[in-house]
Amino acid sequence: MPRSRHFSMLREFHLADWFTLANAFCGTGAIFAAMRFLQDGVVRDLMIGMALIPLAFVFDALDGRVARWRKVASTLGRELDSLADVISFGVAPAALAYACGLQGGWDWMVLSYFVACGVSRLARYNVTAEQLAGEEGKVRHFEGTPIPTSLVLVIVLAVAAWQGRIGDAIWLGQWQLGPWELHPLVLMFALSGTLMISKTLRIPKP
Q: Once rounded to an integer, what is the mean pLDDT over residues 189-194?
A: 97
Domain count along the chain:
1
* Coarse DSSP helix, strand, coil percentages of the chain, rounded to the nearest 5 percent: 70, 5, 25
pTM of the full structure: 0.86
User: Is residue 83 in a domain?
Assistant: yes
* 202: phi then psi, degrees, rounded to nearest 5: -115, 125
Q: What is the pLDDT of residues 20-35, one digit of tens each?
A: 899 999 999 999 999 9
User: Is residue 1 in a domain?
Assistant: no
pLDDT-derived band of residue 201, with 50, 70 and 90 as boundaries?
confident
Instruction: Please tell me the predicted confidence (pLDDT) of residue 81.
Output: 85
CATH of the domain at 105: 1.20.120.1760
Supply the Cα-derived Rg of the chain in whole angstroms. Answer: 19
User: Is residue 122 in a domain?
Assistant: yes
pLDDT-derived band of residue 167, with 50, 70 and 90 as boundaries?
very high
Instruction: Please tell me the predicted confidence (pLDDT) of residue 151.
Output: 96
Distance CA 77, CA 67 (A): 9
Q: What is the pLDDT of residues 170-185, one digit of tens each?
A: 999 999 999 999 999 9
User: Is residue 143's pLDDT more than 90?
Assistant: no
Q: What is the pLDDT of residues 47-106, one digit of tens each?
A: 999 999 999 999 988 876 665 555 556 666 678 888 999 999 999 999 999 999 999 999
Q: What is the span of the domain harbouring residue 13? A: 8-204
User: Is residue 2 in a domain?
Assistant: no
